[in-house]
Amino acid sequence: MSVGKRYQAGLAERLETLTGVFPNIVDAAALTPVPGPPHASLDDLLDAAAAAWTCRRVYSGEARCLGEGEVDETGYPMNIWV
């Protein structure tokens, strides 16, 4: 992603990307309540959709692990699944 998720352009970029996987994501986004407790915000919806996409890819064996084998200064693994 080229723009942060808290900017309109970043939200649009994420919506466009996720529409191919979740065709109803724009409808779900339109129904997302105004941010603030106790409601989730639009970027939370997009984070959840991206996590679901990744889970689907892991389950089907399509996902790749980036940074496999690398650890931070505390020994915690530093990788991300895509």
Contact assessment for residue 78 and residue 70, using Cβ atoms and an 8 Å cutoff: yes
Give the HSE-up count for residue 27: Cα atoms under 13 Å, Cβ half-sphere: 3
59 assigned to some structural domain = yes
Contact assessment for residue 82 and residue 54, using Cβ atoms and an 8 Å cutoff: yes
Model pLDDT for residues 6-19, shown as the tens digit of each residue: 788 888 888 888 88
3 assigned to some structural domain = no
56 assigned to some structural domain = yes
pLDDT value of residue 62: 94
29 assigned to some structural domain = yes
48 assigned to some structural domain = yes
2 assigned to some structural domain = no
pLDDT value of residue 48: 86
1 assigned to some structural domain = no
Model pLDDT for residues 29-45, shown as the tens digit of each residue: 777 766 655 666 778 88
| Overall domain count for the chain | 1
pTM over 0.85: no
Q: Which range marks the domain in which residue 23 is found? A: 8-81
- Cα distances (angstroms) measured from residue 26 to each of 22, 73, 80: 9, 40, 26
pLDDT band of 20, cuts 50, 70, 90: confident
